[in-house]
Amino acid sequence: MIRDRKIYSKHIDSVIIICVTIIFFIGLLFLYSASYSLSEQTSKSFVLRQIMWMIVSVFFVMIILAIDYQRLIDFSYVFYVINLALLVMVLFIGSRRYGAVRWISFAGISFQPSEFIKISFILALASYLGYKKDTRNNVGGIFVPLLIMLPAFALIVIEPDLGTALILVPILLAMIFVAGVNLKPIIFFISSGVLCAPIFWNFLKGYQKKRLLVFIKPDLDPLGAGYTIIQSKIAVGSGQIFGKGWLSGTQNQLNFLPERHTDFIFSVVGEEWGFIGSAILILLYFTIIYRGIRIISETSDFYGKTVATGIVALFAFQVVVNIGMTIGLLPVVGLTLPFISYGGSSLISFMIAIGVLLNIGMRRPLF
C-alpha cells in the first residue's frame, strides 16, 4: 500500500495545485481591497479568516488524497442523506442573513450545508449511475437521477437560494451525458423546462423576479434591484486595459459596490487590475477546467469519470455564472467565485472538490 501511494503521488496534477494556490493568493489581495474601506482591521480580519479556512481545507484535502476515491463513493449515499438532514435542520434552526436562512451555527462556527450538498450529490449520482448501468437507455436513465436531485433542489429553493439549487441541474446533465444516458430524455427534459418557464415564474419570490427583470433592463430599478449590477458594470468597465491599481478602485473604495467581498469580488478585480488582470485570472480558471477535462478523458474507471465530470461541471458553471453576472451577461443568482469570494463554506467545499478530482487523477492509468 505504501508503494502504491508513492507511485500515485507522482501522478498528482501539480498544475491544478499551482493554479488554485495562485488564485487563492490573488483572492486574498482583493478580499483585503474589497473590505479596506470599512477599516484596515476589518480587512485584516477577513484575510486571516480566509487563510484559516484554507488551512482547514488543506487538511481535508490531505485526508481525501490518502483515501481511494472508491471508498468515498461507497459511502456516498450516507454523505448525501446526512447533508439532506442538515438542509432540513437549516429550515428549523438556521440563522437568517440577507433575508435567507442558509446557515447553521454550532459552537460559534457557522456553515452553509447547501455548499457541501454539491459534492455529496455528485458522489451519490455517480454511485447510482455506476450501479445501474443497464438503465442508461430507458426512462429510468434520466428520471431516477432527477429523483435523486429533487430533495436537495427543493430544500435549497425553500431557503431560498435559487442560484445554488439551479447549479445542480448542469451537474446532473453533464454526468448523465458522460455516463452514456440516451440523449432523447435529456432533450425532452431541457425542452420541458423551457416550456414550463412561465409556470415557474409564478413560484419565484418578488426579489427573484426583480433580478430577472433588471437583468433584461437594469434601468428598470436603478436604485433597487438593478443598483448592484449597474455599479458592477461601471466598476469593470472603468478598469479599462490595465486597471486603476490595487486599493485604487473608486467604485470599490467609495462603497458604491455592494457585496464586493463575496458574490461581486470579480468586479473589484476588473476595476483594479483591468482587462489584463481579469484575463489572467480567467486563464487560471480555464487551466483548471482543462486539466480536469484531461483527467476525465484519461480515466477508464466509470465511477471516477462521472465524479470528475460532475466536479468539472460544477467548477466551470459556477465560474462562468459568477463572472457573467458581474458583467451583466447573466442574471444575478448569488453564486460565489471559487477560491476568491469570502466565505468558509464555499472555500472548503471547493477545496474538497479539487481534492477528489486530484484523487481521481492520481489513480488513473497513464497512457
Tens digits of residue pLDDT in 41-72: 878 889 999 999 999 999 999 999 999 999 99
Q: What's the whole-number average pLDDT of the chain?
A: 86
The answer to whether the beta carbons of residues 29 and 272 sit under 8 Å apart is no
Q: What is the pLDDT of residues 173-210, one digit of tens each?
A: 999 989 887 767 677 767 777 777 677 666 666 666 66
Helix 265-298 vs helix 344-362: angle between axes, to the nearest 10 degrees?
20
pLDDT of residue 76: 95
pLDDT of residue 222: 66
For the chain, which ranges sit under pLDDT 50? 1-7, 367
pLDDT of residue 7: 46
**Residue 63 burial by Cβ neighbours in a 10 Å radius (0-12, 13-18, 19+):** exposed
The answer to whether the beta carbons of residues 257 and 232 sit under 8 Å apart is yes
pLDDT of residue 131: 81
The answer to whether the beta carbons of residues 266 and 26 sit under 8 Å apart is no
pLDDT of residue 3: 41
pLDDT of residue 139: 58
pLDDT of residue 251: 87
pLDDT of residue 215: 64
pLDDT of residue 160: 79
pLDDT of residue 92: 86
The answer to whether the beta carbons of residues 351 and 338 sit under 8 Å apart is no
Alpha-carbon distance of 264 to 258, in angstroms, equals 8
Alpha-carbon distance of 354 to 308, in angstroms, equals 9
pLDDT of residue 6: 45
Grid cell listed for 120: 455529496
pLDDT of residue 4: 46
> Where do the DSSP E strands lie in 76-190?
95-97, 100-106, 109-111
pLDDT of residue 211: 65
